[in-house]
Amino acid sequence: MLRQLKNLLKRNQTWARKMTEHNPNFFLNLSKQQTPEYLWIGCSDSRVSANQVIDLNPGEVFVHRNIANVMVHTDLNCLSVIQFAVEVLHVKHIIVCGHYGCGGIKAAYDGKELGLIDNWLGHIKDVYRLHKDEIDAKATEQEKLDLLCEKNVIEQVANVCHTTIVQRAWRKNKDLTVHGWIYSIENGLLKALDVEVNASNNISSTHTIQDRQEVA
């Protein structure tokens, strides 16, 4: 196994050498503290690397990735990442970034049985169900899939905003904004969707959590 991955270790050595040639203190400074301003919630797709896409160095963006960039209310993994980012790292921006040509989106749209992942893709099917008329009205399958990718990002932005973590941060007047972006693998460009939330009064009142009431 080690022999098979030897090329990766060599690439790591080359990369580390390049970084220190450019900045001899790069790893020393990096090891002391991470102070990113951004939390990136993206897709696990190997073609969409957060640091490369936004051209930031290690330590400048905190990252959580899963199939089709989904934020589920009961996903303790993602919730823990958000809490650490907001309450410990004090990030100022949460970016939910999807991408066109997403395999998870297409799998949910096609509806073919794949196994365990079908349970996860059910969350995307819910997004499709909510916007089915608008999506089905598109002329081509590609347009339908692209729109579903966008709708999924917008839905996940709402889910992030509905978390108790983000709402609590807003109640404390923290400088925190949630953004919805989408990436095109075909040209390498990001697009900001028409969704950007920076106060809890911009989310559904159904999901707004009121301050705790003291019981006498």
Active site residue ranges: 43, 45, 47, 99, 102
Q: How far apart are CA 44 and CA 123, in angstroms?
A: 16
